[in-house]
A and B are shown apart, each in its own frame.
Chain A
């Protein structure tokens, strides 16, 4: 069974940093491209970032470009999102996704 489990969320002050992780299991992680998607409280779904299976191709939403960094470790079956210079508007549940399969999400709250 395909499983994606996010971790690393929490409360952080504006300007701070967090690193999210996504542990993948039940499939050959190194063969799949992955995404991060987020959902602010009471709002819709927003794509954040994409990484190809090898990690050689990466894209970001304009709203996070220059502040967030996506990466992966295929040996550890793990996906990451390094989030720097966090803003209040980054407050959201962050999901890692393989195509149409999503994890349960991890909540990031940016507040003083």
Chain B
């Protein structure tokens, strides 16, 4: 099973700040890494698929990069509505696995 480790677990940031969340895989997963945002009492919302592919309707301040074992989700010019938990997800090999999550708090 591929283990995904996100960092940080928690981050408190101010609006307009740039945020970087990383996800490291225990073995190479190519580009089969996806990012989700989850707000309380909502289902996960897809932000980025296959490491860097943008999703229709997702604000352009969200971007992804990386391949192999190291991946990054970047949020440029953070907005108050970005307060949420963020998860990475690998679909390279079964079973699918998820990072432990990063909780983003807006100061």
A104 at the interface (CB under 8 A from B): yes
Among A37, A45, A99, A101, the most chain B Cβ lie within 10 Å of the Cβ of A45
Contact A45:B95 (CB < 8 A) given known A95-B43, A102-B44, A104-B43: no
B46 at the interface (CB under 8 A from A): yes
**B26-50 residues at the A interface, CB under 8 angstroms:** 34, 43-44, 46, 49
Report the count of interface residues on A (CB-CB < 8 A).
Answer: 18
Bound-state CA distance A55–B6 (Å) is: 33
Bound-state CA distance A93–B42 (Å) is: 10
CB atoms of B89 and A45 under 8 A apart: yes
B97 at the interface (CB under 8 A from A): yes
A59 at the interface (CB under 8 A from B): yes
B10 CB to nearest chain A CB (Å): 13
A89 at the interface (CB under 8 A from B): no
B30 CB to nearest chain A CB (Å): 15
Bound-state CA distance A59–B94 (Å) is: 8
Q: Given A37, A103, A105, which contacts B96 in the complex, CB threshold below 8 Å?
A: A37
Bound-state CA distance A66–B76 (Å) is: 46
- Residues of B contacting A37 with CB < 8 Å? 96
A47 at the interface (CB under 8 A from B): yes
B105 CB to nearest chain A CB (Å): 16
CB atoms of A100 and B43 under 8 A apart: no
Give me 6 other A-B pairs in contact (C-beta within 8 A), A45-B89, A100-B46 excluded. Answer: A44-B99, A44-B101, A100-B89, A100-B91, A103-B43, A105-B43
